[in-house]
Amino acid sequence: MTVPALLALALLGWALLRALAGYGRRDPALCQLSAREYALVRGAAEATFPPGGPIPLSGIDAKIPEHVDRYLAALPARTRVLIRLLFVLIEHATLFFKAPGWDGFRRFSALSLEQRMAVLEGWARSKIQLRRLAFQGLRAVLTMGYFACPAVLRAIGLAPLAIETPVVDADLLYPPIGQPRSAILFGVEDRARTVARLPLDPRGPLQPGYGEASG
Amino acid sequence: MSDPRSWPGEVRVFSDYQNDFTDSADVVVVGSGPCGAVAAYELAAAGKRVVLLEEGPPFTPADFELDGALSMARTMREGGLRFTMGHVMPTMQAIALGGGSLVNSAMCIRCPDYRLEEWAEAADLARTSRRDLEPHYDAITEFLGIAPTPDEVQGPRNLLFRDGCKALGYSSEPCPRNVVHCRGSGECFTGCRARAKQSMDISYVPAAMRLGARVLTSVRVEELLSNGRRVTGVAGRVVAPFSGAPGPRFRIEAKAVVLAAGVLATPLLLQRSGNLANASGQVGEHLQFHPGTSVLGFFPDPVDPVFGATQGYQSLHFLREGFKLETLWAPPGVLAVRMPGLGHAFQQQLLDMRYASVFDAIVSCDLSEGRVRERGKSLQPEMRWSFHPDDAAILARAVWVMTEIFFAAGARKVVPGVAGHPDEMHSLAEAEALRQRPPRAGDMVCASTHVFGTARMHGDARRGVVDEDGKAHDLDNLYIADTSIFPLSPSVNPMFTGMALARRSALALADRV
């Protein structure tokens, strides 16, 4: 083997190492995110919602990676693949298009917080529509995860209000999804139960699970 | 009040299917969305043995998700992340008993007279004027209790739209909706916990069961069976909720079939069933959308947007210019995606959402068309659609008008969400740039839930798929009852007109079967 070939092989190995190695172990509590995907989501969540901001929860505090894991699990297989491709694109684009700083040729999750923020800003402001769309896709996934946290919704003042749900004819016909009809929750007597029909009070109680005690 | 469990009809859910099965009916209706549900009810009311098929499961309030991402993943096809090719645009279709009515904002708007006259002109229609459709609109209105959204559940964010329009001399009105005793939760898109929205799963579908209709959920029709000029039934598989994992096979024979699978699935079913009803070559063509975009405005005082009807106000003022304006609310996490910034600046914007109101515009888009084909053998659509520059210019004008309305209503800041322009605008003078340099199609974040046109109605059998009764030109007993039969955009929300046409089709079919 010639010296140039050896050098090329070494370069290739080095590039592969930078692209794929060193992610640590996969968190067994996560059912969808691989170690690499977790690193990307965590890094992007922190860059999008860093600690010490006006909302007292960072993206990590709000457990965005855990939400993304649940979201992926709820998606159909093909859609899940598309999201994963998006993650791969963002994670590895900085191996080819340098992030700011002398050490910018690293994968996204290995960049500093400032570098990650600058990279995302670049995607957001790109003149190329598809690049902007990719950013919007990633930020949508992260933002929806952030808003899934009750404490975030409370901090913003957008937590859902409590609503008493009346029982209608249909509730005597359909079981909860995945259960047999024997699991139907209501009977004729429930239908007669009176519930409030007035407009909600915007200052009224929050939906259980979104109050102060809910984290 | 009778016990629904003693009604002559029934509903079957996923756990009810153990083995392959066959069945028969006078009429099988494919799809339980607004159009299919109306058709099933009217046919059952006419004494026909009806089987209504739905690929999705019935959702109970226990199944609703307030989390916007998980709600979309569970109720929408392809997890809510379906998009067109050509011009890339997300489009959402529901997969649930009741179809889109479970997760839409319940707007029931009659198609304007002038628009139906344009339909008649463009598609050689003789019986589809507003006067022809009025009895059907009226019957559905009475059945569902459709009424203008009352002021007491509008909440400030809807009323600010009214005020802004009034200040500028633009007409506006409360949205007529199929909602009874709305409580103003703003949760139409994730399922109405107040059970106020009369979605099909709690209105027309149970009413059809009361009259004897059998409702099979979690069944996916994969083929229409035919013999010469007649369809003889449908065949398909049971599918698991959410995962879509295939289960037992089924076959249902029927004297007639009503295809109400939706604008994207209806043409696919025809194409994969031997290119049925396609002598005209129009099946899957003329795919049209109402692309929409939203603008956020922020006011000096809190708006408390969690309270108020999801889409309580609208303006038809600009309809003849090609766009319609509405107010909008959605799960906060979904709306927040439109906010600008990153990091702490982004968080600061999010904190401002208590002061926010959202308006949206939908565009008639008469020049923008596409087509739909099956993606491999997946039963999923591959859509190619282009956004004509002239239609995009109309949407750009709508963005400007919404900005104008916000400032007229007293907004201190507007976020137009347009690439190439400032993230925030603080005065009308600053926003003037939107008029001087109108955004192009790719600069605006668009989405669409209104789809139509892939099996269009036409008086001339060589140029359309169905006649004015919704009957396929090429077949004696196949009817199409969904918005795929629209020959042009209705310019307003399509559900109500689809339901009116479906009712007319069902009454015509009931006389013939």
| Position B500 pLDDT exceeds 80 | yes
User: Nearest chain A Cα to B182, which residue?
Assistant: A199
Q: Global pTM?
A: 0.94
Gap between the Cα atoms of A133 and A128, Å rounded:
9
Average pLDDT value for residue range B380-386: 96
pLDDT digits (tens, 9 = 90+) for A153-209: 999 999 999 999 999 999 999 999 999 999 998 999 998 787 878 999 999 999 998
Q: Is a pLDDT exceeding 90 seen at residue A75?
A: yes
Total domains in the fold of chain B: 2
**CA nearest B69 in A: which residue?**
A144
In the sheet that holds B313-315, the strands lie side by side as B173-174, B313-315, B323-327, B356-363, B292-298, B413-415
pLDDT the model gives residue B160? 98
- What pLDDT, in 10s, does the model give residues B328-364? 999 999 999 889 889 999 999 999 999 999 999 999 9
Question: What is the C-alpha to C-alpha distance for residues B151 and B154, in angstroms, rounded to an integer?
Answer: 5
What is the per-residue pLDDT for A215?
A: 53
pLDDT band at A95 (very low <50, low <70, confident <90, very high): confident
In a domain, B188, yes or no: no
Kindly state whether residue B199 falls inside one of the protein's structural domains.
yes
Residue B234 pLDDT level (bands cut at 50, 70, 90)? very high
Residue B305 has pLDDT above 60, yes or no: yes
Strand order of the sheet with strand B370-374? Answer: B85-86, B381-385, B370-374
The H or E element containing residue B35 is helix B34-45
A101 Rama class: left (phi>0) / alpha (psi -120 to 50) / beta: left
**pLDDT over 90 at A2, yes or no:** no
Displacement of CA B157 from its chain's centroid (Å)? 23
Q: What is the pLDDT of residue A28?
A: 84
Same domain, B27 and B154: no
- Flag whether pLDDT at B320 surpasses 80: yes
B92 belongs to a structural domain: yes
Residue B232: pLDDT over 90: yes
For residue B377, the 8-state DSSP code is: T
Nearest residue to B161 (alpha-carbon basis) of B288, B27, B324, B31: B324
- For residue B133, what pLDDT is reported? 98
CB contact under 8 A, B13 and A175: yes
CATH code of residue B502: 3.50.50.60
Average pLDDT, chain B: 96
Specify whether B269 is located in the same domain as B321.
no
> In terms of pLDDT, which residue wins out, B88 or B222?
B222
Pick from A71, A130, A132: CB nearest B69: A71
DSSP character for B353? G
CA distances from B495 to B80, B172, B451, B502 (A): 19, 20, 10, 10
Shortest distance between the Cα of A41 and any Cα of chain B, in A, equals: 15
User: Residue B110 has which token pair?
Assistant: 């009659």
Together in a domain, B53 and B123: yes
**Cβ within 8 Å, pair A174-B78:** no
B496 and B401 assigned to the same domain: no
Contact with chain B for residue A176, Cβ under 8 A:
yes
> Kind and range of the H or E element at B227?
strand B219-227
Q: Which two tokens stand for residue A161?
A: 């209000």
CB B38, CB B340: distance < 8 Å: no
CATH of the domain at B165: 3.30.410
A6 Cβ contact list (under 8 Å, min separation 6): none
Q: What is the pLDDT of residue B318?
A: 98
DSSP code of B112?
P
Question: Do B168 and B91 share a domain, yes or no?
Answer: no
Cross-strand bridge partners of residue B29: B52, B258
A207 touches chain B (CB under 8 A): yes
pLDDT of residue B95: 97
pLDDT at A213: 61
In A3-32, the residues whose Cβ lies within 8 Å of chain B are none
User: CA-nearest residue of chain A to B352?
Assistant: A156
**Cβ contact (<8 Å) for A157 and B336?**
no
Distance in Å, alpha carbon of A170 to nearest chain B alpha carbon: 5
Which pLDDT tens digit goes with each residue over B150-206? 999 999 999 999 999 999 999 999 999 999 999 999 999 999 999 999 999 999 999
Residues A7-61: pLDDT tens digits? 888 888 877 776 777 787 778 889 999 999 999 999 999 999 999 999 999 999 9
Average pLDDT, stretch B507-512?
A: 97
Between B287 and A126, name the one with better pLDDT: B287
Same-domain pairing of B53 and B198: yes
Judge: A71–B209 Cβ closer than 8 Å, yes or no.
no
Residue B217's pLDDT is what?
98
**Same structural domain for residues B87 and B198?**
yes
Confidence band, pLDDT 50/70/90 cuts, at residue A214 = low
Sign for the CA dihedral angle at B188, B190, B191, B196 comes to negative
CB–CB of B185 and A129 under 8 A?
Answer: no
Looking at the partner chain, which of B67, B88, B378 has a beta carbon nearest the beta carbon of A148?
A: B67
The two structure tokens encoding residue B350: 């999010």
- Do residues B123 and B230 share a domain? yes
pLDDT of residue B1: 64
Mean pLDDT over residues B410-438, rounded? 95
Containing domain of residue B486, as a range?
A: 7-106+109-145+193-286+452-513
Closest-CA distance, A88 to chain B, in angstroms, reads 18
